[in-house]
Each structure stands twice: as C-alpha cells, then as structure tokens.
Copies of this chain bind each other. A is one copy, B any other.
Amino acid sequence: MADGGSPVTMSDVARLAGVSTATVSRVVNGRYGVSASTIAQVRSAIERLGYETSLVATSLRRSRTNVLGLVTHSFQSYTAEVLKGVMEALTQSGFDLIIYANSDVYGTYSEGWEQRHLTRLSGTLTDGCIVVTPWGEVRSSTPVVVIDPVRDSTAPSVTADNLGGATRVVEHLLGLGHRRIGFIAGRSSLAAAWSREEGYRTALAEAGVPVDPTLIGRGDFNPESAIPLARALLERPDRPTAIFAASDGMALKVLEVAKELGLGVPGDLSVVGFDNIPESALAEPGLTTVDQSMYRLGYEAARMLKSLVTGEWEGPRQILLPTRLLARGSTAPPRITTPQITTRA
C-alpha cells in the first residue's frame, strides 16, 4: 500500500528470467529476435514482479515518448473544459498527457512562466506541447500549439473567432437601440483582447456611430480590474446605456458595480460579457455573452499537435473556431435616450 520497497527495474526482471536486459527490452517493445519460450519466461517474470517500464529512462534514451504536454498558469473551470477536449482528442491515440504546473509561478502572473514550464517539459519528456494563454512568444525544440496566442503570433494556434463574436455583440446592442456603448478591454498583448476591441470599434464604425475613446476602459481580464473602470463609466453624467466587457469575469463585476450604484439591469444599463463561463448563467439577471467552446479549443489543439508531432499535419497552422452570441436577461432596449447624444447626432 504505502511504501512497497524500491521500484522494480528492468534488470530485476532480467535476473529473474535469467536473460539480459536487452532481451527484456525486446520483449517489452515487441521486437523481433526472441524465441517464444524466452518471451514466455520474460512475460512471467514481468507479471510476477509487477514491472512497468520507466517513463523517465525511456524518454531519456529515446527521442519519442508518446507523451504530449500541456502548460497552464492556473486551473479554472474553463481549464477543465479545455482538458476534457484534449483528452477526448487523445483517447486511444497512443499519446498520454502530462500537465505541468510550477509552484514558483502559480498565482503570480510573472512574465515568462510559459517558457519555463515548456523548457522543463520539452527536454525529452514530451513530444510536443499545448500552451494555454501565454504572455509572450514561446520557443521549443518540439512542436507547440498555442490556445489563445499573443497578438500577431505566427506559431501554430487555435483561437476562437473573437472578432466576429465582438462584432455581433455590438450589432446586438445597436439593434436594441443603444448608441452610447462602453467597452472594458482585456490585456492588450493577447490577440483575444485585441480582436474583441477591434470588433467593438469596427461594428460601431460600420453603423456610423463614432467611437468615443473616453468610453473605453483599459482592463486586463482580471475581474477586479473592471471595478474602478465600471465605476468611472457609470458615475459620469453622460453615462453609457450599455457596457460590453471583454470577459465574463469583468462583466460580472460590472453587474455588481451597477447594483451598488442603484442602476437596474437591464432597465438602466445593459451588460454583455465574453466567454460564457458557468457563473454567467447563474447571474441575476443572466449575463448576455459570447460562447466560445473551450472544449473544442482543447480538442482541436490536441488534434493538431498530434499530427504535428507525427509530421502528417496538412491543414492550416492557425485555426479559428466559431463563436455564438447568447442573448440572456442582461440586455434590453435603453429606457431613455441620453439627451446629449440625440442633440449632437
């Protein structure tokens, strides 16, 4: 149970079976050149000792390990979704998965964590890695697929259609009659943040609504960062009738601030988020948001990495997955049109 002595090695098996370790290795790996009787001997010795080949020793000697790695800086509920997708894609593929989390950087959003994790894994332990939401570009001696890459990255990646999703959000709000729409941006180095802001800007521009820079708050995807920004937007006399936050986490904080200021949602203020995290459906009212399937992000990333490792990848190296607007209770037509706007427009 607890401690069952030292681990069984290949030489233990060899000794018991009366052969060399080379022969044991051949049997384990099913190679040619071992007589049937010897195979039986070795098999029985393996069985009796409960021997399992050491991942470490094998990966040191071989280049291929048939293990893929994944590095993430935190474990959220969406991380579990990603992992489900990854495992689904890897089922029965012969590739196992190792997730590495460094205790030094966990919780602290220190720059370069992804590179440190990656180097640690790609020594010889893994054949390739998936990196979730990195802070910067990464380099590795083995293939890497990035989920939610940084802006303008040329690395193989899987991303949700953030631009399209954000565009539909703004079109939805415009369709309801909103004209003063606030925006709370995410960490600008991430492609996702940039695309969502770009969608906000272009959708307004296409509708002939001028973009007011003072209606844009600079958040960083951290929910807390949205609080002062939401307060600033909502306390001004010409406050927006709707706020679009670049993530659900931030949008939920906007809801809290609105409640605190005595503003009814969606009566006095419409709020929209992005991501569709589980908590959003729970919110009161339900948060209108953009659904991006983290499951599919994980699935596609694993599928791509697998083929990249075996060298048989044919498709594009940058995948864009569709997003979907989920209209819930937090959005409605504005109650009154702000006077400043109607006179100026």
Which residues of A are in contact with B by a Cβ distance under 8 Å?
A: 1-7, 50, 52, 54-57, 59-60, 74-77, 79-80, 83-84, 87-88, 90-104, 106-107, 116, 119-125, 137-144, 153-156, 278-279, 281-282
Give the contacting residue for A55; candidates B75, B84, B125, B155; CB below 8 A.
B125
Q: Of all chain B residues, which has the CB nearest A54?
A: B123
Provide the residues of chain B in CB contact with A97, threshold 8 Å.
100-101, 103
Give the contacting residue for A80; candidates B54, B76, B87; CB below 8 A.
B76
Please tell me if the beta carbons of A87 and B101 are within 8 angstroms of each other in the complex.
Answer: yes
Q: Of all chain B residues, which has the CB nearest A69?
A: B98
Please tell me if the beta carbons of B80 and A106 are within 8 angstroms of each other in the complex.
Answer: no
CB distance from A37 to the nearest CB of B (A): 27
Provide the residues of chain B in CB contact with A6, threshold 8 Å.
141
Please tell me if the beta carbons of A106 and B90 are within 8 angstroms of each other in the complex.
Answer: yes
Ranked nearest first, the 7 interchain pairs of A and B with the lowest CB-CB distance are A54-B123, A52-B119, A75-B83, A99-B99, A80-B80, A90-B103, A97-B101
- Contact status of A56 and B54, CB under 8 A, knowing A87-B107, A142-B3: no
CB distance from A6 to the nearest CB of B (A): 6
User: Please, how many angstroms separate the alpha-carbon atoms of A147 and B107 in the complex?
Assistant: 23
- In the complex, 29 of the A-B residue pairs with CB atoms within 8 angstroms, ordered by the A residue number, are A1-B137, A1-B139, A1-B154, A2-B143, A4-B139, A5-B141, A7-B123, A50-B119, A52-B116, A52-B119, A55-B120, A55-B123, A55-B125, A57-B60, A60-B60, A75-B80, A79-B80, A79-B83, A87-B103, A90-B106, A93-B103, A95-B103, A96-B101, A96-B103, A98-B98, A98-B99, A99-B100, A281-B282, A282-B282
Please tell me if the beta carbons of A7 and B141 are within 8 angstroms of each other in the complex.
Answer: yes
Task: Name 16 extra pairs, CB < 8 A, besides A1-B138, A3-B142, A7-B124.
Answer: A1-B137, A2-B155, A3-B143, A4-B140, A54-B123, A55-B121, A55-B123, A55-B125, A75-B83, A90-B103, A91-B106, A96-B101, A96-B102, A96-B120, A98-B99, A281-B282
Q: Of all chain B residues, which has the CB nearest A144?
A: B2
Please tell me if the beta carbons of B60 and A56 are within 8 angstroms of each other in the complex.
Answer: yes
Provide the residues of chain B in CB contact with A101, threshold 8 Å.
83, 87, 90, 96-99
Interface centre among A56, A116, A120 (most CB of B within 10 A): A56
CB distance from A72 to the nearest CB of B (A): 10
Provide the residues of chain B in CB contact with A125, threshold 8 Å.
55-56
Provide the residues of chain B in CB contact with A103, threshold 8 Å.
87, 90-97
- Contact status of A84 and B95, CB under 8 A, knowing A123-B52, A156-B2: no
Provide the residues of chain B in CB contact with A106, threshold 8 Å.
87-88, 90-91
Please tell me if the beta carbons of B77 and A91 are within 8 angstroms of each other in the complex.
Answer: no
Provide the residues of chain B in CB contact with A91, threshold 8 Å.
103, 106-107
Give the contacting residue for A123; candidates B57, B107, B120, B281; CB below 8 A.
B57
Q: Of all chain B residues, which has the CB nearest A80?
A: B80
Provide the residues of chain B in CB contact with A282, threshold 8 Å.
278, 281-282
Provide the residues of chain B in CB contact with A144, threshold 8 Å.
1-2
Give the contacting residue for A59; candidates B56, B75, B142, B279; CB below 8 A.
B56
Provide the residues of chain B in CB contact with A93, threshold 8 Å.
103
Please tell me if the beta carbons of B77 and A77 are within 8 angstroms of each other in the complex.
Answer: yes
- Contact status of A88 and B107, CB under 8 A, knowing A60-B57, A124-B54: yes
